[in-house]
Structure 1
């Protein structure tokens, strides 16, 4: 059933990836039969009606929290049982593509490949490139994304600027999680190669070796993973 209320303006197609996200969100709302006002009341105005409207306009890339609220509100109970994970996964992919299209430099065409990392300089550059590929989340946004204390915003900023590497594998995983990376094992293998190549006698190299062994045996210490 189509949502009632005044007709919406057409989706802004200026940025195709942003338009794809908006069209996806509008499809969810149309399927639910809800108005934006009803959606806002459902969450007590946080997000607001205007925020939901902008999210589905194609003129902005909404915050991820807004997208999650949009998806959860507009899905019926049956839909939640059948495809809630699939729907949120699709929303995440579209949201990341929209962020990438509006924030990343024009010359960035693909995600960095951790398999070609051999030294610490390669690792630093690959982490910076992953940050760009993930739509350049701000250091404060990255800090909020992961578990408290895992990635202070000042540390995230210095990693992004190329001034430092993560202090240990746990912080590297937190950085990757904040960049919405799903598979972190290739990155831990890259970090271990880089440390063994350039810092074979460094005290931190053993931490990378231990983290690699834990992940290979199925007992990693990591945050919840997100989709890249």
Structure 2
């Protein structure tokens, strides 16, 4: 289900919970019937101002109004996040037990470039066969997330870079992606940047991710020092 569909479904569920027909909601928020109908179907996207009005009339009380408004704005932020950024980061999660039948071409090119003949022996010692690598190169097999990490470490390459090119979510991003408050702030910030300033947007994203990575590394070193 897309963010548009989730947003529309949430509005429809709250309207039906009130026992209202669609026209009643239109009258209360001062919006066109067709427009609201398309929003509920996930075809159109409401403005922030419309979301505030909808949350106000559909909420059970003041506290619920704030929570509903936050939910709707979070979904709106997901919808309006620049598509170029999502494509740039390649944050498509894949579970180890459900990986695709082939690897992304960008990952294959990088692995071909990095892999030397003597590295094959090292990979085989760690359970990744020569035949498996050959099948990956011709698009007939895929590596699990664990294997991608293993290969990056064996080749002394950046693990995060390998995971992104393989379209797996890097460890450093999992906590960030699960944190709705941080994501909400991130998407709101992105909306302030005009579309023509995409380079600035990408740099802003990279700065945030680098900060998350640095924070995680600092936390890990702190734990290591305590352990030692």
**TM-score of the superposed pair, with normalisation by structure 2:** 0.39
> Which structure shows the higher helix fraction?
2
**TM-score of the superposed pair, with normalisation by structure 1:** 0.39
